[in-house]
Structure 1
Amino acid sequence: MVTCPQCQSDDLDLVEKGAGDRRHIRCNACTHSWWRGEDKQPAPKQRDTIDAQRTAFHTAHTLTPARRQSVETLKGQFIADHPVPQPEVAEYWARYQQIFSAEGLQHCDPRALKDFANTETGAHPGNMSVFNTAWNELGDDEAVQRTRGVIGYLLYGPDHVPLEDRLTHLIEGPHALEMRGFKEALLTKVLCIVQPDRFLPILIYSSPNGGGKREIANRVFGLELPPRDRTRWPIGRLITWSNDVLVDHAGPGFEKLQHVSSFLWWAKDQAASGSKVLS
């Protein structure tokens, strides 16, 4: 019980509240007033950093020991029959690594950027009719400037915006640098060329035909990655973090990530055909 420090009366009134748990008290018996409590504000709740969120996503999608053993068995079969990736891809990707450098992007032949969207070497972006129509409607000068802007923002955008979120901005729009049709598949293709040691040439997060990262994760690894329309994670984070999950669970033993993606496509087909290894 709180009493007056002067007369020990408990006939007290609250005059006002201060910061934290500070209170201004007055004694009705002797009119003495005083402050009690501490001027402390509760510490603000810390939001998870993007690194912590990435770790949590990965931790939530781990393999069972039985599935890991099944994947290792399939991997051994695949590597024995498919020891090296397609040789022509390395030369093509080396060319575009130069084109997508900060210097190369500003001075490359505009035709190289349009050709990039319509070439399937090493990665299959699908139907590019929307991009091609937009390019033709805008004309070469405007189209190439927009395409350069999109790629430049993705690869060299402000450091305070994580790559995952720059990817989301460009996919979901509207964005000042938007180029119609240069969305998830082509943006991911850029990343797997520029960062070939991180990104798989699997260009879609989820696909109705079963060819996205989410479907591959399910069929090969038995993982349930979140549906895009029923999760709080933005699409750019789903794309990059699901990529990292696939790469990690595929494990070592492959020549390059292009080799890993070939294995994942093959293993997905094994699962679809009723392979006993993944049953």
Structure 2
Amino acid sequence: MGLAMCPLCSEDEDIEVVRTLEDGRRVVKHRCGYAWEHGAPVAQKTMPSHSFNDLKARFPKPEDVEPKVLERAARLKTQYLATRPDFDPGVAAYWAKYQEIFSPDGLRTCDPRLLKDFANSDVGARPGNQATFNSAWNSMGDTAAGEATRKTIEYLLYGPDDMPIEDRLQHLLTGATSFAMTGFKEALLTRVLCVMQPDRFLTILKYTTEAGGKREIARMVYGLELPAPESVNWTLGRLILWSNNVLRTLVGEGFANQQHAAAFLWWAKDQPGGFP
């Protein structure tokens, strides 16, 4: 099957299609075992376009939450804070270390293994199983994988000034950038933002998930329905950041840090009297 050429073996034989992605690209695998995303996204049907600012203005806002729902959330917050958890002081030290590593100079000079270690660490925020990332890293080797990961983080944090971070995030999520590291996706990209801006980003690493992403928490705690990620007029990159901003405003102050606030939200979503 001459679909593509294996980046590792430079061979175009015995390549099979593993699955087709929602945007029309395919995940293919060579007989050597290496898998990668191949092809360009299929053009979507023409839909009414909306500007970045228009979409942001139309995004659900904290003031959309009903007063009685806010009152319930405030009662839950008071109840939760009465038994304030003791957070591991090692988290702040670990994140301070990676703030240095993710600085422009740090990214250029750090040991690549530090980047792999970050992707597999649960300190401060749990990104889940990173089998795809680890498989790609092991296949590529420390040097090539480290460079791809460095460029991915660099683009997210320090990309073109005229491009909103929401859209840089989207490019990395969809593979629109040729250098994006395989498997370094939503949970890890969000975790980078949590480390670099710990006062802004809640440690809820997925927009939507059965276990409870930002979308589910907004609905279950505040009765706020956020857009579906497959909606044509939105992008996941924008939904990730804008939902964080809404939840950050709604949860308010009084927590030790954003990990504490996120822990409250996960707890609150399961309390009686919430929304299904």
- Relative to the length of structure 1, the TM-score reads 0.77
Q: What residue number does 2:122 align with?
A: 120
Structure 1 distance, partners of 2:50, 2:87, is 39
Does the alignment pair 1:234 with 2:235? yes
1:196 aligns with 2:205: no
Query: In the aligned structure 2, how far is the partner of 1:167 from the partner of 1:61?
Result: 27
- Partner of 1:94 in structure 2? 96
In structure 2, what is the Cα distance between the partners aligned to 1:129 and 1:145? 19
Q: 1:139 to 1:248 in 2, by over 3 A?
A: same
CA 1:116–1:212: 2 relative to 1, 3 Å: same
Name stretches of at least 5 consecutive residues in structure 2 with no aligned partner: 1-48
For 1:81 and 1:277, locate their aligned partners in 2 and report how far apart those are by CA, in whole Å. Answer: 21
Residue matched to 1:103: 105
Superposition misfits of 4+ residues, deviation over 3 angstroms: 47-53, 58-61, 83-86, 276-279
SS in 1 for 2:267: helix
Partner Cα distance (2:175, 2:105) in 1: 26
In structure 2, the partner of 1:262 is 263
What root-mean-square deviation, in Å, do the aligned CA atoms of Structure 1 and Structure 2 show?
1.9
Name whichever of 112-121 and 225-234 sits farther off.
Answer: 225-234
CA shift digits 1:21-76 (9 cap, x unpaired): xxxxxxxxxxxxxxxxxxxxxxxxxx976345324314387210000000000000
**Code of the aligned partner of 2:255:** F
CA displacement, residues 131-180 of structure 1 (integer Å, 9 cap, x when unaligned): 00000111111000000000000000000110000000000113122110
CA distance in 1, matches of 2:94, 2:74: 31
Identity, in percent, stands at 52
SS at match of 1:149: helix
Q: What secondary structure, in the 3-state scheme, does the structure 2 residue paired with 1:269 have? A: coil
Say which SS state the counterpart of residue 160 (structure 1) adopts.
coil
Cα distance between partner residues in 1 of 2:96 and 2:127: 18
Which whole-Å CA distance do the structure 2 matches of 1:243 and 1:109 have between them?
31
Q: Is the 8 A contact 1:61 1:223 kept in 2?
A: no
Residues 205-257 of structure 1 show CA distances to partners (whole Å, capped at 9, x for unaligned) of: 011x2321101111111111111113411110000000001101111211211
* Partner deviation per Cα, 1:78-133 (whole Å, 9 max, x = no partner): 11112553322111111111110111111111111000000011111111000000
Alignment of 1:72-221 (within 5 A): 72-82=74-84, 84-207=86-209, 209-221=210-222
Q: Between Structure 1 and Structure 2, which shows a larger proportion of helix residues? A: 1
Of 242-251 and 228-237, deviating more is: 228-237
Give 2:14's aligned residue. none
Structure 1: runs of 5+ lacking an equivalent: 1-46
